Amino acid sequence: MADATKYIPIGGTLNSDLKTLFSISKTRKTLTFAYAFTFAFVLFTVFLAFCPSPNTSSPFFTNIFSSTASSTSSTNAYKSQLSSIFSFFFHNTTSSSPSSFNSTTATAHNTTTSRSTNNTFPSPPKSKRPFKTTPFENQTRTAPSENQTQTTPTISKKSSNHTAKPHDDVVNKEPSSVSNHTRVSGTSYEDKALKKTNHSSNGVASAPKVSGGSPHGNLSSLGKGGDTGKGVVHSNYTASLVKKQKNGNKEEDSRVEDETIEALVKCDFFDGEWIKDDSYPLYEPGSCNLIDEQFSCIQNGRPDKDYQKYKWKPKGCSLPRLDGQRMLEMLRGKRLIFVGDSINRNMWESLICILRNSVKDKSKVYEAKGRVHFRGEASYSFIFKDYNFSAELFVSPFLVQEWEVQVKNGTKKETLRLDLVGKSSVQYKNADIIIFNTGHWWTHDKTSKGKDYYQEGSHVYNELNVLEAFRRAITTWSRWIDANVDSSKSMIFFRGYSASHFSGGQWNSGGQCDRETVPIKNEKYLKEYPPKMRVLEKVLRNMKTQVTYLNVTKMTDLRKDGHPSIYRKQNLSVEERKSPLRFQDCSHWCLPGVPDTWNEILYAELLLKQYQNQHLKKKP
């Protein structure tokens, strides 16, 4: 009997098997439960094996039978299903099914794509000027160039959450004070070359104290910033910065906008290089009939055009391409004033042409008194009627008053009052944005020699060093600013010295630059940083009022190719025709050209100020 029980026949009826299995409990209730359980198990197995929809909402089923959708025959599909079922229940079993390999490959591909997407927009390094971020209204954003090493796919929510985390850590910190943003912008490149240190870190880039308030609290909201692109810079990478892109997600647009602006906050705009960019100039040569003949080099016969195709690229960021329409919206209802010499006129004309180029109805952009030539008068004003905005120029080459005194024989002698600001100052002291400059007139014979020329009160100095005279004049200007300009309502800029490139003489003694067609590449050929600009920096640091120093000296010193040279006018005098090479302009700039970049920097500064003011307003 014991031997017989060892060899129970296999393949008995289901009834007998179940009776054996449930021999402990033979009640009707137990049998009913067993049958029901078996029937349910069979149905569940059939459902798993022959589910008609591979796209069922349950990822559990989809993962098991993902290969069935690609089967081409019933036999292959059947084998694929069995293989999938088998591999599902036995995870460590190796399967040779091609569908399993394809599934794995697809998964790997998806993983790579996801990582690439997440790395496309890395958060910038922690900002020195943290602000709490809030979404801007009516956001637009720029699309990085197609030739950039970093591409711009649509950002998924997952990518957005991933990249925003370091950013959130930065912007949620409490700002120490408003003065973190305000700075004497720029780098004294001579110090950098000699000491291998950043000039701005030695105090030159520190800001004067900032009065409270918001000069641009009513400006339109930001929407478009430049690419912060680090890495390879291609020749036309800025072309796409002029385009507007909305991906439909205001939150993501706002985050990208914040990151872009924060990259500008900590960037020294003036430490960089000129790179070729075929998307430039910002406006076509000859398209702006407002340009003074003196600056219209192409119209005057200059044959080479590459000097127009250079973009200034700071080392720490990328400047946003100037969007004329956007800038006009920011300036709506404002007065923007240029005060200084003919180099500031150069910059003023550049800005008018850039902004006018973005206006559809050009007849609504005009000089207030109908003038078409902009030399010889004390002031000019261009009106942008649709924007209730004016861009004005006040001629004041020294920023202090040119004067006359009577000498013994009844004649008059010209002097320079170091203790009085220009007469026109009362007309612009309440303007929204003021850009000052001085420099070139301090190099002329009369000022550089300083004999019987400088005056304070009724006293005319027999002789006074030009550097000391410059210091006194700038100090007079700075005291007037501190006493008369409300920094809570006005933004003040001081544009630094613009380099000239006379070779073989000066502006009035045969100096030349007509053979220059490319920028200087090696900084060792740059000139010494002007001592007068060191004096200026020291005065700016001691001011109470916020003044942003636009230190364009290095960027202009590199551009020996950008001057009008012999292409300064069309109709030469008899003397000029005899020896045209003796009469060259190597201090002003062709338009389009270098001053357009100064206005792009101004545009970036306005974006920064707008960003700062909006975040300070939202501060609890």
Residues known to be catalytic = 342, 585, 588
Residues in Cβ contact with 154 at an 8 Å cutoff, skipping those fewer than 6 apart: 247
Among 306, 387, 403, 401, smallest CA distance to 352 is for 387
User: What sign does the dihedral 439-443-444-445 (CA atoms) show?
Assistant: positive
Residue type at 548 in one-letter notation: T
Residues in Cβ contact with 319 at an 8 Å cutoff, skipping those fewer than 6 apart: 226, 264, 269, 311, 312, 313, 600, 601, 604
Question: Are 479 and 488 a contacting pair, CB within 8 Å?
Answer: no
Among 224, 198, 238, smallest CA distance to 318 is for 238
- 24, burial (CB in 10 Å: exposed 0-12, middle 13-18, buried 19+): exposed
Six-digit token string for 445: 């014979």
Q: DSSP of 86-144, one letter per residue?
A: HHHH-TT-----HHHHHHHHHHHHHHHHHHHHHHHSPPPSPPSS-----PPSS--BPPP
Pairing of strands 412-421, 454-456: parallel
Residue 540 CA to its chain's centroid (Å)? 25
For residue 283, the SS3 value is: coil
Can you tell me the distance from the alpha carbon of 130 to that of 212, in angstroms, rounded to the nearest whole number?
A: 18
- Spell out where 244-285 has E strands: 272-276
Can you tell me the distance from the alpha carbon of 447 to that of 282, in angstroms, rounded to the nearest whole number?
A: 37
Question: Are 486 and 476 a contacting pair, CB within 8 Å?
Answer: no
